[in-house]
Amino acid sequence: MAVALRGAAKVRSGLRLPHLVVIRRNLSETNAVKNGVDSMVTDCSEFGKWRNGGGVCHASASIDPTARVEVGAVVHSESMIGAGVCVGSGAVVGPSVSIGQLTKIGYNVSLSNCSVGESCVIHNGVCIGQDGFGFFVDDEGRMLKKPQMMQVSIGNYVEIGANTCIDRGSWRDTVIGDHSKIDNLVQIGHNVVIGKCCMLCGQVGIAGSVTMGDYVTLGGRVAVRDQISIASKVRLAGNSCVVKDIKESGDYGGFPAVPIHEWRRQFVALRAYKTCMPESCLKEY
C-alpha cells in the first residue's frame, strides 16, 4: 500500500500529500506498539515459547514435559502444570497457580489465585480467582473495597461450564469439592464452600460465605443468599430462592424455598384462589 501511495505522489508532480504523511506515521506507531508487545512477552528473557503447543511460559513456571500450552496461552511465574494438562489458546494462567495432571483448560480461561485438581475440565471463558464483590460504606458515603486475599481451591474430577465465575475468598478459601459439576453461566461468590458430588445447573447464583454439604443439587436459576448453610443431599427445584438455612436433606422449592410438598400445596392453593376470584378481578391480571 505504501508503494502505491508513493507512486501516486509522483503522479501529482511531487506534491506532499497530507494523508500520505498520516498513513506513514500511523504505520510506524503500529509497528512500535507491536514491537513493544513482542518485547514484553515473546522477546523477554523471562518468557519463552513452550515446545509443545507454542504458548508463552515464564521461566520460573514448572511445567510437565507432557503438558500442552497452545498458541496464544500465557503461563505466568511460579505456576505449576501437571502431566497431560492442555491449556487452550487465549487462556491465562496467573502467577502461582497450580493445575493437576490430566486437566483440560479451555479457550480464553482466566485462572488466578487458585489451584485446580486432577482430571478437571474447565470450559471456555471460565474465570476463577478474581476478587469477590465486597464493599463497605465509609462515613462519607463512599464505597470502599474490602480486601480479597484468599484463594480458590478446585477439587479433583470437577467440571466447570462455559463463562462461569468463581471468586476468591476474603476470609477463607472458596472451595469446590471433588466430583462436583457446574453448568454454564454460574456465579459463585467469595468464601463459598461446596462439598463433593454437587451439581449446579445453569444460571445458579450463590452469594458470599455460603456453605453447602455433599450431594447437593441446585436446579436452573436457583438463588442462594449470603451466609446460608445447606445440608447434604438437598435438592432444590429450578427458580427457587434460599433465604435461610436448610438443615435437613430432602427436596425443596419455591420463593422462599420450603419443603417440596409444602410448596406444591401453596401452588395448588394459589390456583384454587385464582379460580374462585370474580371475573372482574381476573381482568386485572
How far apart, in whole angstroms, are the C-alpha atoms of residue 75 and residue 62? Answer: 10
| Inter-residue contact 166 to 174 (CB < 8 Å) | yes
**CA–CA separation, 188 vs 204, rounded Å?**
8
pLDDT (0 to 100) of residue 271: 78
The pLDDT of residue 278: 64
The Cα-based distances of 202 to 106, 117, 206, 217 in angstroms read: 18, 22, 12, 12
pLDDT of residue 280: 57
Q: What is the pLDDT of residue 44?
A: 63
Nearest CA-CA partner of 160 in 103, 217, 210, 211: 103
Nearest Cα to Cα of residue 112 among 85, 86, 92? 92
Q: Give the pTM.
A: 0.81
For the record, the C-alpha cell of 143 comes out as 464505597
Positions marked active-site? 190
* The pLDDT value given to residue 94: 98
Q: Please count the residues of the chain.
A: 285
Backbone angles phi, psi at 141, to 5 degrees: 80, 10
DSSP state of 214: S
| Cα of 155 vs its chain's centroid, Å | 16
Contacts 24+ apart (CB under 8 A), 194-202: 195/232, 196/155, 201/238, 202/161
Give the 3-state secondary structure of residue 1. coil
Amino acid at 208: G
pLDDT of residue 282: 52
In tens digits, what is the pLDDT along the chain, a chain of 285 residues?
444 444 443 444 444 444 433 333 343 444 444 444 444 444 467 999 999 999 999 999 999 999 999 999 999 999 999 999 999 999 999 999 999 999 999 999 999 999 999 999 999 999 999 999 999 999 999 999 999 999 999 999 999 999 999 999 999 999 999 999 999 999 999 999 999 999 999 999 999 999 999 999 999 999 999 999 999 999 999 999 999 999 999 999 999 999 999 988 888 887 777 666 666 555 554
Instruction: Give the bridge partners for 98, in sequence order.
Output: 80, 115
